[in-house]
């Protein structure tokens, strides 16, 4: 496991930001396992509030930001919001623009919110994310991307979603990404305390024994109420199972900074991610 504190690495990747394409539906027809009922006149694709948070998503969609050149990696971006809303600007669209800028394609996923299950809120979002991986692999070349370089990136609850899609026990043929990026992931621990333990078992985040985890990148703040110890413990576990991990922890920043100018972590983590993707061969100059 490689751990860097306040790393000064910056990138000089030359790229261009593509205009996003029109949203695409995740499912043909009605999404599976739906338990909520749409209210009369309600937009099934969700509504945006003044903070650019999207709520009440019944028809999950994704927005593609194609890469400038063929053969690029493509990253499915999962905004956070406690599995209740989607912070889809600073944890979605702006992230996609930054990924585009250093040569990656991106997909911003509008998975279903709010929670369909109080105790296991990830169940329906995991379905949406796995189906999105399948579609992205099938159509990657249309967006100048490599179907063998499909990643998932998430923030907070979206980071929990990314962890579950990439690593949690599931059916043998379940769609999984080729790499995972978790930015201040929430709910990795049984309790959100620094001395807690990782969620294990069928509803946990720890991969089944005998599987080699896909490469992982973590970014967190030491003063986050969802403890950075969760990211570090998860990275250590993945490494012990033969996986490759990189962890960045900033002293300050709190929670929810996304891709913004709010703090040093918010400004620099995407540069560090780009460097990691280049170092691992996902990005080719």
How does pLDDT run across 37-82, given as a tens digit for each residue?
Answer: 999 999 999 999 998 899 999 999 999 999 999 999 999 999 999 9
Task: Identify whether 256 is part of a domain.
Answer: yes
Task: Identify whether 71 is part of a domain.
Answer: yes
What distance in Å separates the CA atoms of residue 257 and residue 265, rounded to the nearest whole number? 8
Task: Identify whether 238 is part of a domain.
Answer: yes
DSSP 3-state assignment of 24?
strand
Place of tokens 């999404």: 31
What distance in Å separates the CA atoms of residue 216 and residue 232, rounded to the nearest whole number? 11
Task: Identify whether 41 is part of a domain.
Answer: no
Tokens of 217: 């990148």
Task: Identify whether 250 is part of a domain.
Answer: yes
Instruction: Note down the domain range covering 15.
Output: 2-29+65-279
What total number of domains does the chain contain?
A: 1
SS3 content of the chain, % helix, strand, coil (to 5): 25, 20, 55
Task: Identify whether 59 is part of a domain.
Answer: no
Task: Identify whether 252 is part of a domain.
Answer: yes
Place of tokens 């990026």: 181
Tokens of 133: 């991986």
**Residue 69: CATH number of its domain:** 3.40.50.1820
72 sits in which H/E element: strand 72-78
How does pLDDT run across 178-189, given as a tens digit for each residue?
Answer: 999 999 999 999
Tokens of 45: 């694709």
Cα–Cα–Cα angle for 47, 50, 56, nearest 5°?
20
Task: Identify whether 47 is part of a domain.
Answer: no
How does pLDDT run across 115-166, given as a tens digit for each residue?
Answer: 999 999 999 999 999 999 999 999 999 999 999 999 999 999 999 999 999 9
What distance in Å separates the CA atoms of residue 260 and residue 98, rounded to the nearest whole number? 10
User: Global pTM?
Assistant: 0.94
pLDDT of residue 285: 78
């Amino acid at each position: 496991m490689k751990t860097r504190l306040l790393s000064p690495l910056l990138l000089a990747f030359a790229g261009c930001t593509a205009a996003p394409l029109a949203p695409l539906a995740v499912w043909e027809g009605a999404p599976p396992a739906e338990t909520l009922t749409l209210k009369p006149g309600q937009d099934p694709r969700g509504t945006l509030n003044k903070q650019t948070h999207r709520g009440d998503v019944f028809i999950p969609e994704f927005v593609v930001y194609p890469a400038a050149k063929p053969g690029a990696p493509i990253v499915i971006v999962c905004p956070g919001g406690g599995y209740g809303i989607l912070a889809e600007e600073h944890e979605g669209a702006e992230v996609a623009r930054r990924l585009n800028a250093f040569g990656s394609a991106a997909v911003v996923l509008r998975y279903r919110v709010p929670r369909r299950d109080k105790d296991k809120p990830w169940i329906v979002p995991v379905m949406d994310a796995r189906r999105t991986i399948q579609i992205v692999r099938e159509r990657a070349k249309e967006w100048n991307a490599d179907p063998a370089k499909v990643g998932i990136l998430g923030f907070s609850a979206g980071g929990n979603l990314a962890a579950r899609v990439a690593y949690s026990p599931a059916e043998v043929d379940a769609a999984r990404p080729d790499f995972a990026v978790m930015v201040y992931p929430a709910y990795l621990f049984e309790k959100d305390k620094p001395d807690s333990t990782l969620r294990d078992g069928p509803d946990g985040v720890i991969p089944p024994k005998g599987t080699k985890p896909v490469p992982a990148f973590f970014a967190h703040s030491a003063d986050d109420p969802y403890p950075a110890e969760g990211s570090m413990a998860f990275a250590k576990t993945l490494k012990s199972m033969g996986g490759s991990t990189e962890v960045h922890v900033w002293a300050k920043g709190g929670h929810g900074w996304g891709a913004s100018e709010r703090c040093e972590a918010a400004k620099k983590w995407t540069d560090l991610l780009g460097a990691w993707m280049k170092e691992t061969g996902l990005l080719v100059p």
